[in-house]
């Protein structure tokens, strides 16, 4: 039986999970600012637990195993350093793809759109049971343009700069970093003060329209939400708003996966399936 370590390197936290005998065990969560310390800790765990392989889900755009852009990571080189430092096989993928793999495994939909909302917004697409990658980086729904800056009916010209370097992207209005920048507090604190905070933001409508547009493109059986912010969403509220924008015949199930370490678990699936 294989022993696997799954790592989720997100914009705010790094989660590490151990998988063996069909069970996941949460090992640690670190702050992403301490990303350079993680190498040693994981190396230690690999040798103590006699691990066969490591999967890493990372908040970055990856092509052929190379990180080409990581707007939400303090150190884009760190995941690659980790890969090179370990003496077991290491498999790297986008964090939302790892989330999609885990959602697919436990929910079973043959086609699904998986959406993570945390520091940024990520998405993974499963078509016929496999991740759809396009040229490598398909599914960057967080960087779809909202069109706000060109709409004259908003009264003022908004033209926000995204962390990726683009302008007016969905993440500029609806992501952990954008909402924290706008309100001066973390979304966790804002939601603790007002449970409905997230649905009352302007960005929530941009978000639901983007999801509806993606559904019109992909016609998935389900849209599954996760991430540290996304896992707190109410599926019924999301469904009501997304369905407003869908045409007849498009009826994806709207589900929320309440699991903080879903990406790290998906990274275990990535490593296990890559070792076969
Ligand atoms: Zn962007």
pLDDT value at residue 11: 87
Residue 94's φ and ψ, nearest 5 degrees, are -60, 140
Span from the CA of 142 to the centroid of ligand 1 (angstroms): 6
Span from the CA of 209 to the centroid of ligand 1 (angstroms): 17
Span from the CA of 267 to the centroid of ligand 1 (angstroms): 24
- Find out whether 113 and 224 touch, Cβ atoms under 8 Å: yes
Span from the CA of 4 to the centroid of ligand 1 (angstroms): 33
- Find out whether 167 and 178 touch, Cβ atoms under 8 Å: no
d(CA 145, CA 130): 27
d(CA 18, CA 51): 9
Which residues touch 165 (CB under 8 Å, ≥6 apart)? 71
- Find out whether 53 and 273 touch, Cβ atoms under 8 Å: no
pLDDT value at residue 152: 52
- Find out whether 48 and 88 touch, Cβ atoms under 8 Å: no
Span from the CA of 161 to the centroid of ligand 1 (angstroms): 8
pLDDT value at residue 154: 52
- Find out whether 76 and 27 touch, Cβ atoms under 8 Å: no
| Exposure of 77 in the CB half-sphere (CA atoms within 13 A) | 3
Could you give the domains of the chain? 4-98+261-275 (3.30.420.40), 107-256 (3.30.420.40)
Span from the CA of 96 to the centroid of ligand 1 (angstroms): 15
Span from the CA of 6 to the centroid of ligand 1 (angstroms): 27
DSSP secondary structure letters along 140-151: -GGGSB--GGG-
Span from the CA of 108 to the centroid of ligand 1 (angstroms): 31
C-alpha pair distances (Å), 129 with each of 110, 167, 184, 243:
5, 33, 41, 24
Span from the CA of 261 to the centroid of ligand 1 (angstroms): 25
Span from the CA of 179 to the centroid of ligand 1 (angstroms): 15
Any idea what DSSP says for residue 167? B
Q: Which residues of the chain have pLDDT under 50?
A: 155
- Find out whether 132 and 94 touch, Cβ atoms under 8 Å: no
Span from the CA of 178 to the centroid of ligand 1 (angstroms): 11
- Find out whether 59 and 231 touch, Cβ atoms under 8 Å: no
Span from the CA of 25 to the centroid of ligand 1 (angstroms): 34
* Cα angle value 19/22/28 (rounded, 5°): 25
Return the percent helix, strand and coil in the chain, to nearest 5: 40, 25, 35
pLDDT value at residue 90: 96
- Find out whether 204 and 198 touch, Cβ atoms under 8 Å: yes
Span from the CA of 70 to the centroid of ligand 1 (angstroms): 11
Span from the CA of 63 to the centroid of ligand 1 (angstroms): 17
Span from the CA of 79 to the centroid of ligand 1 (angstroms): 21
Span from the CA of 167 to the centroid of ligand 1 (angstroms): 7
Closest CA to 224 of 126, 157, 82, 94: 126
User: Which residues are near ligand 1, the ion (C-beta closer than 5 Å)?
Assistant: 143, 162, 164, 166, 169
d(CA 270, CA 25): 16
Phi-psi region of 236 (alpha: psi -120 to 50; beta: other; left: phi over 0): alpha
d(CA 210, CA 216): 10
pTM greater than 0.85 (yes/no): yes
Integer distance in angstroms from the first to the last C-alpha of the chain? 12
């Amino acid at each position: 039986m294989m022993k696997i370590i799954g790592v989720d390197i997100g914009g705010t936290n790094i989660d590490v999970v151990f998988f063996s005998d069909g069970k996941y065990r949460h090992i640690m969560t670190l702050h992403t600012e301490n990303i350079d310390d993680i190498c040693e800790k994981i190396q230690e765990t690999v040798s103590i637990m006699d691990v066969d392989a490591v999967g890493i889900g990372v908040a970055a755009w990856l092509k052929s195993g190379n990180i080409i852009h990581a707007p939400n990571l303090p150190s884009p080189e760190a995941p690659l350093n980790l890969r090179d430092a370990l003496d077991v096989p290491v498999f790297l993928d986008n964090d939302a793809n790892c989330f999609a793999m885990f959602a697919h495994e436990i929910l079973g939909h043959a086609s699904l759109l998986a959406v993570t909302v945390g520091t940024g917004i990520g998405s993974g697409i499963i078509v016929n049971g496999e991740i759809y990658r396009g040229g490598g980086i398909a599914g960057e729904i967080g960087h779809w343009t909202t069109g706000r800056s060109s709409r004259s009916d908003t009264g003022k010209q908004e033209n926000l700069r995204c962390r990726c370097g683009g302008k007016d992207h969905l993440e500029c209005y609806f992501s952990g970093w954008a909402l924290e920048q706008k309100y001066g507090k973390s979304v966790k604190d804002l939601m603790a003060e007002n449970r409905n905070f997230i649905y009352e933001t302007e960005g929530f409508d941009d978000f639901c329209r983007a999801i509806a547009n993606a559904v019109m493109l992909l016609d998935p059986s389900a849209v599954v939400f996760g991430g540290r912010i996304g896992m707190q969403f109410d599926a019924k509220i999301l469904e009501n708003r997304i369905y407003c924008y869908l045409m007849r015949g498009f009826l994806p199930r709207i589900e929320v996966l309440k699991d903080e370490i879903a990406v790290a678990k998906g990274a275990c699936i990535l490593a296990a399936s890559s070792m076969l």
